[in-house]
């Protein structure tokens, strides 16, 4: 039972990180690339796939930024 509870808490924590931090980064990147045309405002749970795609863009941007930092600064 404790394993299930800890798993649920961990899943919620990870989802909150993905939905807030990486969504914010992805939103800024997509807004800059499209000159503010996309993505639109968050429309709730019916737009969950769009939120995940924007968060994925944020994750990719973060990984590329960190990789290029360690590649070019050293």
For residue 39, is the peptide bond before it cis, meaning its omega torsion is within 30 degrees of 0? yes
Query: Is residue 62 exposed (0-12), middle (13-18) or buried (19+ Cβ within 10 Å)?
Result: middle
Q: What's the predicted TM-score (pTM) here?
A: 0.72
Please state, in angstroms and rounded to a whole number, the distance separating the CA atoms of residues 22 and 52: 9
Tell which wins on pLDDT, 61 or 19.
61
Q: How much is the pLDDT for 37? A: 81
HSE on the CB side for 67, CA within 13 Å? 6
Question: What is the mean predicted confidence (pLDDT) over 33-56?
Answer: 78
């Amino acid at each position: 039972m404790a394993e299930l509870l800890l798993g649920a808490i961990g899943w919620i924590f990870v989802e909150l990180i993905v939905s807030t931090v990486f969504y914010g980064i992805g939103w800024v990147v997509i807004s800059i690339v499209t000159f503010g045309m996309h993505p639109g405002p968050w429309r709730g749970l019916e737009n969950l796939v769009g939120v995940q795609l924007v968060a994925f863009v944020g994750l990719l941007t973060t990984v590329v930024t960190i990789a290029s930092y360690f590649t070019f600064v050293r």
